[in-house]
Amino acid sequence: MSSLAHAPEAHGHVDNKFNTYVAIAMLLAVITGVEIGIVYIPIAKWVIVTALVVLSIVKFMYVIFYFMHLKWDKPFCTILFFIGLVLSAATVWALIALFQAEASLPI
């Protein structure tokens, strides 16, 4: 018997992540197209902003979990990533609150 008969490809058990990456890339492209299309729909601004935020969060999660490999990493690495994300978001929020338009007006 040849060594090819024992290969995982011979039994159909290929752990090929390429197809997963291509499928996710196509999904991200579709979501981006939907985001672009939503901007041109004549509906209330709050609906547009809410839809764009939700779609952006979905895209962000797909990117960090698949393309940044957090899905296959240890949970500790994922926790560290989200701690850094929360700290950076809090810093940006604090800077925006600190430098609001009213604070920059001349006296």
pTM: 0.68
* For helices 45-62 and 18-39, angle between their N-to-C axes, nearest 10 degrees: 170
Rounded Cα distance, 7 and 32, in Å:
39
Higher model confidence: residue 6 or residue 82?
Answer: 82
Residues 13-57 have pLDDT tens digits of 556 888 988 999 999 999 999 999 999 999 999 999 999 999 999
Task: Confirm if 87 and 60 have CB atoms less than 8 A apart.
Answer: no
Domain boundaries, the chain: 3-72, 73-107
15: which DSSP letter? -
